[in-house]
Amino acid sequence: MQQVNSLQQIRETLMTEGLMEEDAPSNPMDLFESWIAYAEELKFHNANAMTVATVDSNLAPSARNVLLRGRLGESLVFYTNYESDKAVDLDQNNKAAVLMGWLEIERQIRFTGEVEKIDERSSDKYFSSRARGSQISAVVSKQSRPVASRNEIEAAWSALDAELADLSPVRPDHWGGYVFTPNSIEFWQGRPNRLHDRLRYRQKDGAWILGRLAP
């Protein structure tokens, strides 16, 4: 109950203080780092989770959660299967939207931008840092493809586990990272009476332009 009360107090404080232009840094990634660091400090489960939305060849949208695994300058990095539905979508249209939210404290961040594959060396480095069991799963999983049963997946995992003995697998070609580079970032802070604060940064001529949106 103490944690609930603490979060309630934090939420109420943030809603009272709001998000004002004079307090916003010139670079939105500084504010992003501050917000995600605070969510991690509060020990939110998967505070680095983000929803990535894409569209397929028929312009039908789809969204799924992935984990933010780093930054390259002003870009966000995540890893996945290159044969997954999201990867197929991105091969056809590299524009995407990303959403990160911590609704316990009435905060969310919306991004729009473009995605490209990260270099293979970075993918190799991150893959090698993963737990061995997760590495095996990445090798055997035909992500987003139909399977007859869970037994089929577990059998494939167990077979590779036995084949490797105590060794770790090499990163497969069908698994790696993406770099998402935003051109628009909106910070949303909940406020009383639903008069929320919405500050949006947009890229123009290589610089970030800050503006306020109506709630």
- Domain CATH code at residue 46: 2.30.110.10
Catalytic residue among 64, 71, 110, 194: 194
Residue 150 annotated as catalytic = no
Q: How many CB atoms lie within 10 A of CB 130?
A: 15
- Per-residue pLDDT at 36: 97
Enter the pTM of the model.
0.92
- Per-residue pLDDT at 5: 65
Structure token digits, residue 83: 């044969």
Whether the CB-CB separation of 90 and 78 falls below 8 Å is answered with: no
Q: What is the pLDDT of residues 75-129, one digit of tens each?
A: 999 999 999 999 999 999 999 999 999 999 999 999 999 999 999 999 999 999 9
- Per-residue pLDDT at 25: 97
Tell me the pairing of strands 197-204 and 95-102. unpaired
- Per-residue pLDDT at 167: 96
Q: Residue 107 belongs to what domain range?
A: 2-212
Bridge partners, 186 (sequence order): 110, 200
Which of 51, 179, 46 lies closest to 122, judged by CA? Answer: 179
Which of 125, 102, 96, 7 lies closest to 49, judged by CA? Answer: 102
- Per-residue pLDDT at 1: 41
- Per-residue pLDDT at 4: 55
- d(CA 140, CA 50) in angstroms, rounded, equals 25
Q: Which residues of 131-151 are buried (b: 16+ CB within 10 A; e: fewer)?
A: eeeebbbbbbbebeeeeeeee
Total domains in the chain come to: 1
Q: Which residue ranges in the chain fall short of pLDDT 50?
A: 1
Return the percentage of the chain with pLDDT > 90, whole number. Answer: 96
